[in-house]
Amino acid sequence: MSFPHYFESFDYAQMLRDFPVGDAFTAGFALRSRDEIHAHQNRLFMQCMARAWEIPFYQRLWSAQGLTPTDVRSLEDIGRLPIFGKSDLMQSLAEHPPYGDYHGWDRWPIAQRPVTVVHTTSGTTGRPQVVLFSPKSREVQALLVARIWRMQGLQPADVVHSVYGHGMINGGHFVREAALHYTNCLFLSAGTGKETRSVTQIELMRDMRVTVIVGFVDYIRQLAETARGMGLEPGRDLPIRAIFGHVGRESRAVLSAAWGGAEIYDWYGVADTGPIAAEGPDRDGMYVMEDAQYLELVDEQTGAIIDDERPGDMVVTSLYRDDVYPLIRFNTHDLSAWKRGSSALDFNLQRTVGVLGRSDNMVKLRGINVYPLALAAILNEHPAFAGEYICRAVRDASGRDELTVIIEVRHTADPNSSELAAAFAALLTRRVGVDIRAALVPAGGTAALTQIDSRQKPVRLLDERPKGGA
């Protein structure tokens, strides 16, 4: 029996033309005119639309809005398409187990079906969501990661230590593929603290002479404290020059200082879409990877498209997914805002300010939206903050919602100090504009709740309010 192998199932040379990496991107595509970028996006978008109309999920979603294949003729018509999110994908999985009906496998006989890479989301709130990749979409995702790292200064001489998780979750796998396929660096795939003990990770960094760390910065910050507990000083004994991670609202200065002055670079993406935006060497906003992603910001309440600098939900159309799993107007529920003005790099790519929080991980207190992810930047203002926290939302007998932030404090601080707790509460209340309570625990005291040693993204909100609450 003959069937297509991985690299035989797509045109690799065409992929590199559509999605260049290295200088072909930074000195080529990123400098194109807005008209040229739009034409490129439109060509790929229409390929995705043609494929999506063959897939039951989109047939059902779009037909319910009265749409036909002739109603969307270009990117200018994208606003006619409904926005969907993870809940819609989970419903598809429930009604069409085990893979849902958004994959479009029925296009091919089994023997001719392209190699399909299967991963899942973490599934912390229930059944994990299935995420599918064709060889082309897999390689584009890996290429985008490598492109971002190279744009941020990754060199072939670097030794890279990754703390992305493995298992069924995508992260650790595709970043390894990114490094191996599109960079010449040495790559150490350590994984989470549950996969490779934190002490062992520090020993690896020391012995292998690691120069760059990649992953989620919550755990990276914790590793610096582990090193100091072992008598090693980051920056001297562990000469890390750069961290490529997901910074969000974290304090760059705090993270850089924790690692002896390492340069910090932010990038953003989600499991379904792959990399969406990243800082360049200018670190002046997040450049959208516009050859591969079409990004919209929409009002979280109305769904209206936002053109000014107000925050909104990031809605993504992945322009490279035209085969196994098209993704058209997917709501990430991550909040951002456009960054306007000229680029220091002269890139003609749109920029965002980075992730501001999550619209589906929000607590409304007395009319004010509180985003747990955004509290990190505030907590970092207090010298006793040890870097980790979690929020607990409850509803009292009167129906009033309350938020308590459980905060880890440094070894030099007293977690039983009512004065210190009051100082943290006052800081949060003043900066957010609504009463927020604070509870203190020693360093490491939130680990069981945040699951920082086993999850790529620590839990930041325990919502204990009755179902249906705001």
- Count of domains forming the chain: 1
Residue range of the domain that includes 410: 363-463
Structure tokens at 306: 């936002």
Nearest partner of 141 among 280, 26, 276, judged by Cα: 276
Task: With beta carbons less than 8 A apart as the criterion, state whether 190 and 163 touch.
Answer: yes
Residue 421 placed within a domain: yes
> Rounded to the nearest 10 degrees, what angle do helices 217-229 and 198-208 cross at?
80
pLDDT, residue 453, reads 81
Residue 277 placed within a domain: no
For tokens 């496998």, what's the residue? 105
Burial of 400 (0-12, 13-18, 19+ CB in 10 A): exposed
* pLDDT tens, residue order, the chain (470 aa): 677 788 888 999 999 999 999 999 999 999 999 999 999 999 999 999 999 999 999 999 999 999 999 999 999 999 999 999 988 999 999 899 989 999 887 777 877 777 889 998 865 445 788 999 999 999 999 999 999 999 999 999 999 999 999 888 888 999 999 999 999 999 999 999 989 999 999 999 999 999 999 998 889 988 999 999 999 999 999 999 999 998 876 678 889 999 999 999 999 999 899 999 999 999 999 999 999 999 999 998 898 999 999 999 999 999 999 999 999 999 999 999 999 998 899 999 999 999 988 877 778 787 787 888 889 889 989 999 998 999 999 988 877 889 999 999 999 999 999 999 999 999 999 999 889 999 999 999 999 999 888 777 788 999 898 875 44
CATH number reported for the structural domain that contains residue 433 in this entry: 3.30.300.30
Question: Could you tell me the CA-to-CA distances from 243 to 115, 158, 201, 215 in Å, in that order?
Answer: 33, 12, 15, 8
Question: What pTM was estimated for this model as a whole?
Answer: 0.84
Contacts 24+ apart (CB under 8 A), 231-240: 232/202, 232/206, 233/260, 234/258, 234/259, 234/260, 234/262, 235/259, 235/260, 235/261, 235/262, 236/260, 237/206, 238/202, 238/205, 238/206, 238/210, 239/209, 239/211, 240/205, 240/210, 240/211, 240/212, 240/213
Element (H, E) at 217: helix 217-229
What lies within 8 Å, CB to CB, of 113 at 6+ separation is 3, 105
Residue 449 placed within a domain: yes
User: With the C-alpha atoms ordered 226, 230, 233, 237, is the resulting torsion angle positive or negative?
Assistant: negative
Residue 224 placed within a domain: no
pLDDT, residue 1, reads 64
Residue 399 placed within a domain: yes
Residue 420 placed within a domain: yes
Nearest partner of 181 among 152, 140, 143, 136, judged by Cα: 143
Residue 141 placed within a domain: no
Helices (H), 68-216: 86-95, 135-151, 171-182, 198-208
How far is the C-alpha of 324 from the C-alpha of 132, rounded, in Å? 7
How far is the C-alpha of 202 from the C-alpha of 302, rounded, in Å? 47
Residue 396 placed within a domain: yes
How far is the C-alpha of 14 from the C-alpha of 182, rounded, in Å? 16
Compute φ and ψ for 278, nearest 5 degrees.
-160, 155
